[in-house]
Structures are given as C-alpha cells and as structure tokens.
Structure 1
Amino acid sequence: MIEFRLLGPLHLTDAQGCEVQSLLTRPRRLALLAYLAAATPRRLHRRDSLLPLFWPELDQEHARAALRQALHVVRDALGTDVIATRGDEEVGLDLELVSCDVVAFDRAVTAGQSREALELYRGNLLEGFFIPDAGDFERWLEGERARLVKAAARSARELLEQSKAEGDVTAAVEWARRAAQLAPHDEELQRRLITLLDHLGDRAGAVESYEEFAKRLAADLETEPAAETKAVMTAVRARQTAAPVELPRATSGAVPTAAAPRRARRGWWRVGMAAVVAGLVLSNAGRWRGRLWPGPVTGHVQSLAVLPFVNLSADTLRSWYADGLTEALTTDLGRIRSLSVTARGSVTPFRGTKEPVEEIARELHVDAVVEGGVQQAGGLVRVDVRLVSAATRYQLWADRFEEPVQNRFVLQDRVARGIVSALALPLSASEERALRAIPTKNGDAYDDYLRGKIRLRRENREDDSVAIALLERAVTLDPDFAAAQAELVRAYVLRVEQFAPNDTAVVERAWVAAEKALRLDPDLAEAHLARGSLLSSVSGRLSPEPALREYHRALELNPNLAQAHHGLGTIYLHRGLLDKAVDEFRRTLAIDPGNCGATRRIGLALVYQGRYEDGLRLIRQVPPQSNQSLWNYQVAWALLYLGRDEEAAALMARYLGAHPEDRGGVVTSTRAILFAKKGDARRAEEDVRTAIQKGKGFVHFHHTAYNIATVYALLRQPARAVYWLRQAADGGWPCYPYFARDPNLDRIRSDPDFLVFLKDLKSRWERNRATL
C-alpha cells in the first residue's frame, strides 16, 4: 500500500515501499497530493476549485494544463488507479489505496482513541513546507494545522484526565507535558504541569517548565504569566508543595452571570485586591509607592504613553482583555489633536519592566505615563488606572472602574474619558464621536484582531501568514469590523511587498478589504492609512498623489498615527524631497521612538546627501533582524562609499551564505558594485544577471536597478548605465539629488544620454518639490 505521512517529517513511499523522489522533490505537485489526501470534507474536488490553490498566476487554459500534467505525474509515480475521477471535472485520491496519517488521525480522534491519535501526530502538518505565490494554499494549510493541533491537544488532555483518575501521576505528567507542547499558551495546563511535577518532587523540572513558559509568552504574545500561575511557582520555589489549581475551563463566548449577592461580590474584591496590592508593594515598593499615595499635580501634560496594562486575572488567556484596553486607550487618546501619544510598538518593550517611571518617560520623551491593572473573575472586570508625572513621579490622577465582562467597550470608553477629564482636554465633535465608537460587537473577533496586530508588527513571513489568518477570521466573525478590515489590508501589503510579490489574489483581496473598511467607516484613520499603504506599494510607484492624500487624511483624523508619517516620509524620500522626508521620519520617531524603519531611512537620506559616515552610523543603530536583506544591503552600500571594501565584502559574504535566496537581488547587486570597483567585469556581470533573475516581481527592484546602473557606470558602459537608471527612476525612485551627486556615476557624467536623462529627472523633481 502507498504510505503518505504528512504529520511531522514528510514520508511518501509507493506500493513497493520505495521512496517517491519524483514527487518529494517537486513541491507544487507534492502540495496537490497532500491537499487531495488531507482536505476535509474528504471528497472529490472540482478541477476549477484546485486551480487558484496551486496556479493562481496562470490563466484558466494554462492552469488546467498544469493540473493535467501534475495528475499525470502522480499517476505515473503511484499508479493509474490512485487518482479517482467522476466525469471530466472532478478528481480526488482513492484513499483505499493510500494510507495517510492525517486521515487515520481524524478517525482515531472521532473514535475517542486518544493514545492512537497522539502516536500518529508526530508534528505539524507539512512542517516547514512552502510553495511560492500560492496564497490560498498557504491559508488552507495554516487553517488545517490549527485544526489538527487543537485536536491533538484535546487528546492529550483526555489522557491526562484518565491518568489522573487512575492515580498514575507519572503518566499524568507526561501527558501534561505533551498537552502543553501542543497548546503552548494555555495557562491552566501549565499550572497543572507545574503542580504535578511538584507533587512528584521534581521541583527543578517545575521551575524549568515555568521559565520556558514565561519566555514563550513574552516572545509570542508580549505578555507574562498570570498572577495565579506566579503564585503556584512561588510556592514551588519556596519548597512548599503547591496545591493543585482546579479552575473551570474558559469557554469562548460564555459570560457568567453578574447576579451574585452584593456582599459576596464586595468580599471577593476586598480579598483579591488586597492580595494584589500587597504583592505589588512588597515586590516593587520603590516603584509603586508614588502611585499608591498621590502627590501634587504639577505641570501641563502634552504627551503621554500608555504602558501595557497588567493582567491580574488568574488566566493568561484573559490577558487579551488587558491588551485590548492598552490598545484602545492608545488609539482613542491618539485621536486627540492636543495630545501626543506614544505608539504601541515603542511601549510594548516596557511590559513587566521594573524600570522607574521617570526612566521610561525619559526614554519615550513624554510628560506622563498611564499604567494600571485589569482583574477579571466571575462576571466582572475591574480596572485600576493611574496617571503618573514623569517629572515628579507623583500620581496626578487615579481611578477604579468596574463593569460586567460583556461591557468591554463601555469599560474602555469610561477609562479613556476619565483620563481625558483628568487632563482637562477639550474635545472636538469628531473626537467626541471617535471616543464613543465601538469597533465591533464580537469579542472573539476583537481578540483575533489584537493577536493579528501583534503578529503583524514582527514583519516576518511566518507571523504575517498567522496575522492574515487571524484577521481573516476576525472579519468573518464580524464583516462590519472596519478596523480589522484595515489591519488586514496592511497584512496583505506586507505579504506582497516582502514575501510573495506575484500573489495577485492577495492584491485583489487587499483592494476589497480597503474599500470595505472605508465604506464601513469613512472617518477611520486606520482605514485611510491602509489604503495609503496599498496605493504606495502597489500603484503609487508611478503616481504618489493618491497615497499622499490618504496619509494626510489619516493624520487629520489621528495626528498620532506614526505609520502615516512614516508613509509620507518614504514617498518623499523616494522622490528626492529629502528635507521633507527627514522631517516626517522625525515626527514618526517623536511618536514611535522605537521605529526602526524611520531611523534607518534618515540614515539613507544622509547617504543620499553624501554624509556617508553619519548615514552608516544611523543605519547600524537599527538591529539587522528588523529587515535582514535591506539592512545588509544598505550597510554594505554605505561601506563601499567610504572605501571600506573588505568590510563590505565580508558582510555580504556572510549574508549571502546564510540567505542565498537574497530577496530582490539587493545584496547580490551591491556585491556586483564591489567587483566593478575592482575592475572584475566578469564577476560583476555574473552578479548582475543573478540579481535581475532574483529581482523579478520585487516591489523594491528600483534599488537593484540602480545598483546595476552603478555597475555599468563603473565599467564605463554609459548606454547600459542610463538604461538601468531609467528603470530605477521609472520604477519608483526618481531621486534627483542622489543621482546628481553620486560619485559612482562620475565616469558617465559627460555622456549625452546621461545628461538628457539627468535634465529630465531634475524637471520631474522640481515639479514634485512644488506640488507634493
């Protein structure tokens, strides 16, 4: 029988037990086979439904031909009968001839055979597998991975409960470990694992498990373990036996009643908050003293930062309530023109810090900070919030708010209005409407939206795919959720700009989401920002005016929208309006001091102006992981201007060794400049050919094109140089001040075609300077 294992390491053998290399080495055909085997419900598929999954870039005729060829290869490798058909239009896999672990896993789960299911679950579905420019397939794969891992986690929980009921603590520990691996953010599971390890006497194992969990929460969710989990761990560290924590499992959407007797409710808050306050004072007395005992109000607050609210509930899964409040306050207060509010991305690193308030405020350049805690239990949520002066460390204002759990947005509105009132800020009619607006009535959609925003900030392929899946689920749960539609546009734009430039289906979805966001809420700043991002990345390379209008409108609605300032600066930088660009990037950094892109692009502007040392210093202030390819290209490029050729060569060799794909060919084309400087025309031209191939469809290819022009200028080939300079300028980078100054072009400056090109470029620049 044919054996096809998709869970964990890939394995495919034919009926004779031989590995099928003809399919294992062809990712797209292997993906088709995997989809036919694993897709649910298990049935035959219409050919037209398969085409956009695997060949979205082809027209109908060519995509059908590609599908026919792929099915022919599968039949040739595995046997004619393995592909089942119904008429000419439906195809599938004959699962009587193929043993597939995903199918067997689903059967075991359905039959309640948990142990057998976990034996089959050797890892994630198609772990590490990827095919380019197939966005629909990638989204299907993400959804199936999530479905299967949840089913595996449920099976492990069932075995944990069974072992515990039988009194087998050792087995219970192992199943708890397996369940925690499969559900790595589940707070209740982690407490049970720590408690079980403690009961076994494995305190070192309990501590190690907790510390790994805490690191994982910080890295993945930007949060920390809940108070109750910390309490369990404190008992273990103190060499006391931690009592098992048995809490009712959280169920999505279930809202407990708030009809408890008033005396009981008051008692719960008195005990709970007394413990919280005592813990805060004892653990960090120096920092909390100024907030628990108020001091005089001094000075006028013109800028503030909303620090991440602390989740004081028993369950980390409820940290999204605290995160939602932080996000909402940052957004709502940011819409007030008279107040400067630090962007969330720059504030997040201070989550859980013990750094004094005045130091945080100094780093963020603000007059005051907002901080507080959120505690949820039963049907109630309580928020304690404080406004603390950066100059005096005194508490300027504090209040406590309490609402039923389902009144999430009422609570957010009350807290925001409390801060506005304390600051005595006048509100315009539009600002008043914005404060009253409720983003969505669906709590699950809001949680998915928050998770998606966090993932999107990381700007890598894996997190962008997860962000898209989360945000798509949010707008499915609530199609009228304008903010989620807008954030989804930005996730789509990142995918097309950085990871899948030929994914035309994503571009179409981005336009649909952008238009829908604006139709739902024409006064949503984030919707205008999203449309501006889409315009500037997809069509704005030729005409920047529409994107500029969207960014300006976004800033009219929310003057603290750092991304809009950054978008304006990026357009100005590419157009050669360097002073305006730097001004916008500085405004970005005033709101979002941790914005790596703004810092790096100020460095670029300095390089364009011939200030190579200053530019390199700023570019190097940015961590390389913020954008590996652009960082390495730009550092090497600046080093070459400074004559530090060997340093540049070593940097490029390390990068290309680790990243041979070199997205867009930016580093390969920079290395070609080095070879051209040395007079090695053969190697320079080899790198040029490679860079052109790698750059196909790359949204930033204008940088690669300029590097190629530089190569030909250094090699004294003016016709080719001018051709590639035109490609760079017409492709979105008509940066006259840089082109006019660049010493690498000096060898062609007397060429007639170059002079005509530069004259035309100057005219375009002068028009842009007058109109943009």
Structure 2
Amino acid sequence: MFTLSTLGSLDLLDPAGKEVTAVLSQPKRFGLLLFLALAQPRGLHRRDTLLTHFWPERDEAHARNALSQALSFLRQNLAEELIAGRGTEEVGLTPNLIQTDVEEFESAITDGRWAEALDLYRGDFLRGFHVGGAWGFEEWVDGERERLKQAAAGAAWTLAREQVERGALLEAERAARRALRYSFADETAVRGFIDALAEAGDRAAALSFFEDYCATLRRELELEPSPQTLEVAESIRNGRPDSVDVQPDTSPITQPAEFSGTPPMRSSVVPWLVGSGLLVAIAAGTFLANRTGTSGDLAPRIGIFPSTDLSPDSADAYFAGGVPDEFSTKLHMVPNLRLVSLTPLASYRGGEPSALLSEAKRQNLDFYLESSAGLMGDTAKIIVRLTDVRRDEQVWLGDFSTGFSAQSLVSVMDSIAQQVAYLVGVELAPEEREKISRVLTTSDEAYRLYLRGNYAFQVERQAGQSNDPRFNASVQYYLQATALDPGFEAAQARLALAHTYGFRTEDDESGRVMRLAQRAVEMMPRLPEAHLALARALWREGLREPAKDRLAIARSLAPDHPRLAEQGGVWKRAEGDLAGAIADYEEAFDRNPTGATLIRNLEYTYLFAHRWEDAERMNRRLIPLTDTVRTRMPWMRQIYMHLARGQHAEAEQAIAEMLLSSHPQLFYGVLNLGEFRVAERLLTPDQARVAFAPILAGAPNVDSTSFLLRGHHLESAHYQQALGDDAAAKEHWAGLKAWMEEIPTPIPSGN
C-alpha cells in the first residue's frame, strides 16, 4: 500500500517505504493524485471537474488530452490498477491502495480519539505546495486546509474539557493553547474553558489564559473580546464564576455533510463547544430544529451589513464597498437561504454591535454577517463575523489576508460563503459547491474594476441620480472589466443592470442590453440581479407582462431584497395601481429606510394617492438624505402639499425660502412652478428665462426655452394629478410628450 502524508509535511512512499520521487517532482500530476485521493465526496470524480481544476486555460480537447496523459503517468509510476473509472466521464482511485494521514485524522475524530487526532495533525494541509495555473485545485486546497485546521481546533478543545474533568488542569491548558493556535477567534469555546477552569478551582489559571487570549486577539485582529466573554472573565475575577449558559443539543440533528469537503465528524460533544469552528453546526441544528412552518419558512434569514473600510488610503474605499455584494453574489447560489441585503444601510457601516443587533431583530433575521475589509498595499484583508440573532452570540469570526489577485480573493469569498452555509445548517450538494467555487475571472485587473463598479453602483442608486454624467462610473468600470475578460459573467450581469437604470454611455443601445441581460440569466440563474436586469430591459422595450414575470422570478430568489420590491412599486405606479405601488414601496422602505430614491418614489405615490400626511412624513425623511445637487426636490414636494391643501400662504413662504438659498438648483425649482397662481406673483416664466439663462446654459444641446417648457409640463402634470384634476394632468403629459418628440434630450427618463 502506498502512503500519502499531507499534514505538516508532504511525502509519498511506495509499499517498500521508498519515496516516489518521479511523482513528487511533477506538481500538477501529484496534485491530481492528491485531489483524487482526498476530495469530497470520496470516490469517483467527473472529468469535467478535473479539467476546470487543473487546466482551466486550455480548450476542452487539449485539457482532456493533458488529463489522459497525467492519468497514464500515475499508472506507470505507481500501479497500473491504481486508476479506476465508470464509463468515459468518471475517474478515481481504486480503494485500499493508498493510505492517507487525512483519512486517519478524520477517523480519529469520528471515533472521539482526540489525542490521537492531534498527534496526526502535524501542521497545515499541503503547506507550501502550489500548482501553477490550477486555480480550482488551489481553491480546494485552501478550503481543505481551513476545514482540517478547524477540525484540529475542535479536537483540542474537546480534549481540554476532558482533561479538566479528570483534574489534569496543566494538560488541559496545554490542549486549549493548542486549540488557540489553530483557531483563536472562537470565543464560545474560550468562555467555556475559562469557566471550566474556574469551576475546577484554578481561577488564576483561568484569568491568565483569558489575558493571553486577549493579547492574541489584539495582536492578530486588532479586536477586543466580545461583551459576553468580558462578562464571564469579570465574574471569575470577582469570585462569582457563573457557568456559561450553553446547553447541549439533544434533538436529532442532520449535520451539514461538508464544508469544502467536510466529512461528518461528530462524536460526543460538550456544551461549551457549541461555538467551535467544527462543531458550531450544532447551534445551527438547534436553530433549524426550533423552526416551525413550511420548508420555505425553515430557510434561515441572513442579513449582510455594509462593510467597514480598513484601507489607509481613501482611494481604496471601493474594496470594502464592493465586498458585501460579493458575499451576496456567492450566497445567492446557496439553496435554502433567505438573504436580506442591508448594504444600502450605509449608516450601519462600522456601527456598534448593539445597533446592528437591533436592526437585525427589526428585520426578523436569524443571523447577520458583518465585515471589515481593506487594501494595505498589495495585501487584501477581510474580517467577517457571523452572529446568531436569537442567541445574541457570535458563532464565527474569520480573518483572511491574501495578495490582491482575482484567484485568491475569489477563493476567500468561496470559503466564506461555504462556511456560512455550513454554520447555519445548509447542506451543499457537490454540484452546488462547484457552482459556488467557480472562478469568476482570471484577470486581476478585471476583478478590481468589477469591485469598483459594484461600489459605484451602490453610490449611484443611493444617490438616485441616473441622469448626471458624473454618475456613469459603474457602467464604465463594468465595460472595462468585461473588455478585459469577455467571459466575466458577474460583470456582464452587473453591466446589464447598470445600463437599465439609465447610467448610459455613448455605445448603449437596447439590443445590446437585452443580450447582456439574457446571457447573465443563462449563466447565473440564481442571481436576482441578473433577472432584474432582464426584467428592466424587457420593460424598456414595452414588453410589460414578460418584464413583470421576470421580476417575479427575481423576487422569488430574494424575497427580502428592497431593490426588487421597489421596482415592483415603480411599475405598478406607472400602470395606475397606486395601492399596489404603495404596498411594494412600503415593503422596500421597511428593508431600506435610508434610500433617497426609494423615499422620493414613495413620497410621490403618497402624494398622488392624496395621503398628504404620509407624503409629508416621507418628505421630512428625504431632506437630510439629499445632497446639494438635489436639494430642490424636497422643497418642491413641500410646495406641492401646501398647494394641494389650499395653504397658499405656506406655499409662498416655502418659495420665499427657496429664493433666499444660494444654490441655483433651488432657483430652478421656482421655474417649474411658473404657471401656478401662487407663484406668478413672485416670478413669471418669461422673467425666469432671462434671469436664469446662465444656469440653463450648462445643459448641453438643449434650448433653454425648451428645457424650461419640459420642466414646466412635467411638474405641472404631477401637481394636477396630485390635486385629482386628471384632465389638466393629461394636458400637461401631452405637452411633455410633444416636447420630447420635437426636442432630443441627453437626460434619460428612468424606468
């Protein structure tokens, strides 16, 4: 039998105990042997999977030829009977011909032989071993390395607990310190251990261990322990070592089969290990067991908050801004999860834990993911925390540092997505894991541009400006990314979506946007943004029913996404369904109470529905959110409402306050009120054309008089519709239509 060593050292010995140098000297072929021997599920693997893992840069014919040559090489240098297969598309290793230390380690953990497992774990999996150009293989190695390290940490914590119970406190502390070397971010296990030491009568050792842990946390992550951990330490210091109230799970749990290949390694589990990296799924199992309702109700609801920027250079803020979207893109590929996008809630970026928890409870979440991210030169750093909302307890803290490359960052995102799925109790089938792990792009610069585009798109949507040339950034970034890598599917999907929001460029045309959106749906069928892009493209072409059907698909994939509910409101209002529009807008507002565009849309709709108080409430919320370019809009709504209520004096006062402002956009607001009787005493349209000609000169290719006429008809139509005078409103809409047919405008209307 051949012997394969991968933990801490790397070696391959033949049955006589001699090193097989011919294989060891061929990294890619040796890597293929490693994957066939250890990848989950153990057994046969599809050739297509092997091709994408080891020869992604080659076309299929050349990649298949390279695979055949590699398999032939392994047969010749190891054993002819080593390679097994089923049909022409599946290949693997014949059982019982290779003995691996990984399988021995897993067996020891499954049997509860903790000390033996730790003896077998001599170091990181495949430490220092790399295969150039085999990106899929490298991702798999990273995932296995983390999984096995977490398994070793779980074994060390369990051994420490058993030694405490036997009274071997010194050995227990050694085991616990070994656990910290493997995973120092597991505070639940730390709390349980120091509490157990204190209960055993060694408070000094408990506090010493706690102080060392704090120093490690500060040094490695620049973080302080959680309030729960500090509370336990303080109770020990005060001589009141209250036990950690973490009960063991007694209900039958189906543990997730694997995280990046995790086998079901569960034996006797002690209560204070619920939070450890390997065994934390017990807490997730308790969560699932306590849920009631339909299978859809059982899907855990996970919120993703905006990321805190760690970059020392503000020019790199795009990295932290784009990271949550990447989490979302990956997690949307995980079935049986309900994601709640909280990225529009910029006020929660870097927020206090209590504020995050309060918002998570308001959103009825089961878990939430917060993160910090930044670029330090060529190094990217991402720190993520997963919190169980019901328990008010952190269940995972992950710290990742890597060079800025598409491959390494995608690998990190994959690891995070699969770890989150594992921790909340969602089992991934091999094909689902393969989808999540799929390489987005091989171009580092394309990936950087993609992240910049994601951040710019957030800014654009939050600002609500689709007609300002300064806000074309997202499309430009996505265009550059897809030019560098035409096969970058996620960037294609985002490009299509950005186009449909009106962030136009000179080469924008409807057919191209439609094709982009259709391609995005084909390649990323579980990505809600892809379906939204296609829905908006269909709507722009006048295909309203297919557009609404496509939006329904997007909403089924992400029922809690505020952007999707808002889109439903936009279309229902356009079709005259004010009640339906308000329902959708209010649903979106409940998820995103700080979105300026959303609030403005809801305010308009309340206004048209004669719900004056609700419109005024939205108006008050809008004013603090708007920048100087759009400051006139809230003032305009105030004037509308005063006029609609017959409060002419109040309307005059609002207009007077606008005139006192120094910002020209506020003056422009008066022009749109030119025909209103209350405004005629202050400024007529003719006077306005003369007074504000310099302002209007800034609008390229548009005649000043026509520009005023367009604004006059648009705002007058809104005003008359708010008053319920449909006939007058229709006249103004007709005037606007006639003007738009005669005068081309560079300012697109949104959809």
TM-score, structure 2 normalization: 0.49
Q: Greater share of helix residues, 1 or 2?
A: 1
Please tell me whether Structure 1 or Structure 2 has the larger radius of gyration of its CA atoms. 2
